[in-house]
Structure 1
Amino acid sequence: MNFTTKVPLLKSKNPIDYNSKIMSLGSCFAVNISEKFDYFKFQNTCNPFGILFHPLAIEKLIHFAVSQKQFSESAIFFQNELWHCYDAHSDLSNANKEELIANLNMVITSMLKQISNSTHLIITYGTSWVYRNRSSNSIVANCHKVPQKEFEKEILGVDTIAQSIKNTIASIQKINPDCEIIFTISPVRHLKDGFVENQLSKAHLITAIQQILNPKSQNLNYFPSYEIMMDELRDYRFYAEDMIHPSQIAIDYIWEQFAETHISPETHSIMEEVGMIKKGLAHRPFNPDSKSHMQFMEKLGRKTRDLESKFPQIQF
C-alpha cells in the first residue's frame, strides 16, 4: 500500500533478529504483534496475565514479578461461580481457589525469568481510564463483570502516567539493564468511554510517554501504531466490522512499518523463508500421491531442515 502522507518512523538502534527474545505486554495491539512474531517463528511471549489496558496495571505486575511478590487468598474473590483476581485477566480465573492462587504465583515466577532474559520488551498502553474499587480503594486491571456500582471511574493524569512509566522502566532495568523497551499506544479506540473521552485518554498516554523519551534515551523507543492508524489509515475500510478494531489489512500494514524500523534488514530474508515454508506446509494438494507433489514436499523438507539447522529455535 502506498500513502502520500506517512507518519515519521525512527529506526531502532538495537533491531530484532532471530536470536532476540521478545516479550509483549498490554492491550490488544500487544496480541496482534505477538501473533506476527509467532507466525514468523521468533522467540516470543505475550501477556502472561492476559490483556492489560492501563499503565498502572502493567507497572504493578512487572513490580510483582521483579520483587517476586506472591499472591495470597486476600488477592482473589468469588464472583459468578469463579474465583478471580483484580490484577489479572479473566482468562486466568478458575473454579478452584487454590489452583488460581498457584497459577498466579507460577506466572509471577516465570515472568521474572522472561523479563530477565528478554532482549526486547514491547509495552502497549490502551487507555488512561481506570476503575477504582470502592471497598479497597485500589485501581483494578479487570472488573470481571462485577457490578458497576462497586467502582468509581477516573482518568489518570499525565504526571501519574509518566511516573508509572518511570517506575516500570526502573523495575525492568533493575534486573535487565540491556533490554530495549518499546512503547506504543494501541490503535484500538475505546469508544465506550466516549469519542472525546477516548481522545483525551490517548492524549494523556502520548504526552506522558513523550515526557519520558528523548533522543538520548538509552534502550527506550517509541513506535507510533496509534498515529499510523489515525493519520495514515483513516478510511473505515481499514477497520473490522465493529468499526473500532483495526482490520487485518491495517494490522498487516502496521506490522510492516514495525518490521521496517525494528527488525534487522538481514532478518527479513529469513522471515520470507519462514513464510514460504508455512504456506507450503499449509498447501492442500489435489493429488497428494502425485510425483510433482512428492518432489514439492521433498524440496520443502530440505528447506525446513536447513533453516532449523541454522536456527535451532525455529521449529515447524
Structure 2
Amino acid sequence: MNFFAHIDLKPLPMPITHQQKLLLIGSCFTEHIGNNLSDLKFNVLQNPNGILFETESVARSLVSYIQHKQYAAADLFHYNELWQSWDHHSRFSNPSLEAALTAINQSQTEAHHFLKDADWLIITLGSSFVYKLNDAGRFVANCHKAPGQWFTKHLLPIDEQIALLDNTIHQLFHFNPRLKIIFTISPVRHLRDGVVENNRSKARLLETVHHLVNKFDRLFYFPAYELVIDVLRDYRFYDIDLAHPNYAATQFVMDKFSECAFTEETKSLIKTIRQIVTAKNHKAFNPESQQHQAFLKQHYEKAVQLAQEHPYLNLQDELQYFKG
C-alpha cells in the first residue's frame, strides 16, 4: 500500500559537480538549498540582492548583474533611520549611506564576475504578486515595512512573466554561453495573501516556468514545490506558521535533488565531506583532553587527504580548526 504519491524525478542530463560554479537566486527557499550546497563545499553564490520572491525582481536583478550596474545615492531612500534600496533585501540597509552603497556595489560586482563564469543558475520563484511604488511608478523587491498605502499590489499575468524571463534568459545565454538554468517553485505558502490567492499565484509561476523549460534546451525544472505539497502533504512537515517547510521537509527535498543532480561519485564525495564538516561542528566536552586532541589529529589527517585528492574543495576552515 502506497502512502505517498510518486513523482518521476528525471536526472539532469549534465550532472552538477564540485568543480562547477552555482549561482542561486530567489525566495527564502533558495537559501535552504544554497546553504546546504555551501555546507557540502560546492562553489556557491546565493542571492546577491538578498531574498527575492517574484519574477519581476528576479529578472531585473539578473539583468543588473549582466550589466554590472553600480548604484548611486539617488537610487537609495532614507526611511526608519536607514538608507535602503527598493531592489535589495533589508540586510543591505544601513544608517550610513556610504556603507549601504559600498555593500550593494560590492555584491553587484561579485555577482557580475561570478555569473560570467557560472555553470549553473538555480532560480526559485515564490510568488506572482508584485508591489509597485505609487509615487515612483516602479516595482519594488522589498517594501521595507513602509506603509501599505505607498504601494499597489498586483498579480502578474502569465504572459508578462514569460516575457520578462524570456528576455532575461536570452541576455543570460548571450552573456554566458555555457550557462544552464534550473527552475524551482518555492513550497513556502504565502498565506498572508490568502489560501486561494496563494494557489493562483503559484499556478501562474508553474505555467510560466514550464512554458520556458519547454522552449529552451538548457532549462530544467526540479519539483521542489510538488515534493512538499503533493508528496509530503502533511502539516507536520511545516513550521509552526504552517507556511514554511521545516527541517525534515527541506532535507527530504535536498535528498531528492541529490538523486537527480549528482553522480554516484559526487554522492560518495558528499558523504566524506559531510563527515569532515560534522566533525568540525562537534562541540567538545573537554577541549584539552587527550581524547579530543586525538580526535582533532585524526580528522586533520582526513581533511588533508581530502584536500589533496580534491584540490578544488575549499577546506580551509576545517583544516585550521583541526590543526588548532
TM-score class, shorter-chain normalisation, is over 0.9
Change (3 A) 1:294 1:195: same
State how far apart, in whole Å, the 2-side matches of 1:138 and 1:107 are: 22
State how far apart, in whole Å, the 2-side matches of 1:189 and 1:90 are: 21
Deviation at 1:5, TM superposition (A): 1.8
Partner of 1:90: 90
Which string of whole-angstrom CA distances, capped at 9 and with x for unpartnered residues, describes residues 129-160 of structure 1?
Answer: 01111111111101111111011110000001
Structure 1 gap segments, 5+ residues each: none
State how far apart, in whole Å, the 2-side matches of 1:125 and 1:182 are: 11
Amino acid at match of 2:92: L
Change (3 A) 1:65 1:294: closer
Which string of whole-angstrom CA distances, capped at 9 and with x for unpartnered residues, describes residues 227-279 of structure 1?
Answer: 11110111111011111100100000000011111122210111100111122
Which string of whole-angstrom CA distances, capped at 9 and with x for unpartnered residues, describes residues 67-125 of structure 1?
Answer: 12322222111100001110111110111123322332222221110101211110000
State how far apart, in whole Å, the 2-side matches of 1:3 and 1:274 are: 33
Structure 2 gap segments, 5+ residues each: 319-324
Amino acid at match of 2:167: N
Deviation at 1:293, TM superposition (A): 4.8
Instruction: Tell me the secondary structure at the aligned position of residue 241 of structure 2.
Output: coil
Partner of 1:32: 32
Partner of 1:166: 166
Partner of 1:261: 260
Mean CA deviation greater in 161-170 or 285-294: 285-294
Partner of 2:70: 70
State how far apart, in whole Å, the 1-side matches of 2:292 and 2:131 are: 57
State how far apart, in whole Å, the 2-side matches of 1:225 and 1:44 are: 19
Partner of 1:53: 53
Establish whether residue 180 from structure 1 lines up as the match of residue 183 from structure 2.
no
Partner of 2:156: 156
Partner of 2:321: none
* 8 Å contact from structure 1 (residues 53, 127) kept in 2: yes
Partner of 1:300: 299
State how far apart, in whole Å, the 1-side matches of 2:34 and 2:209 are: 22
State how far apart, in whole Å, the 2-side matches of 1:267 and 1:314 are: 16
Establish whether residue 81 from structure 1 lines up as the match of residue 56 from structure 2.
no
Instruction: Tell me the secondary structure at the aligned position of residue 109 of structure 1.
Output: helix
Give the TM-score taking structure 2 as reference length. Answer: 0.92
State how far apart, in whole Å, the 1-side matches of 2:265 and 2:207 are: 34
* 8 Å contact from structure 1 (residues 62, 171) kept in 2: no
* 8 Å contact from structure 2 (residues 4, 232) kept in 1: no
Change (3 A) 1:310 1:191: same
Deviation at 1:15, TM superposition (A): 1.1
Deviation at 1:285, TM superposition (A): 4.9
Amino acid at match of 1:266: E
Instruction: Tell me the secondary structure at the aligned position of residue 213 of structure 1.
Output: helix
* Aligned-residue RMSD, C-alpha: 1.7
Partner of 1:271: 270
* 8 Å contact from structure 1 (residues 14, 180) kept in 2: no
Deviation at 1:217, TM superposition (A): 3.2
* 8 Å contact from structure 1 (residues 123, 181) kept in 2: yes
Change (3 A) 1:105 1:282: closer
**Identical positions, percent:** 36
State how far apart, in whole Å, the 2-side matches of 1:253 and 1:198 are: 23
Partner of 1:199: 199
Give the TM-score taking structure 1 as reference length. Answer: 0.94
State how far apart, in whole Å, the 2-side matches of 1:49 and 1:4 are: 37
Length, aligned pairs only: 314
Change (3 A) 1:309 1:94: same
Establish whether residue 219 from structure 1 lines up as the match of residue 198 from structure 2.
no
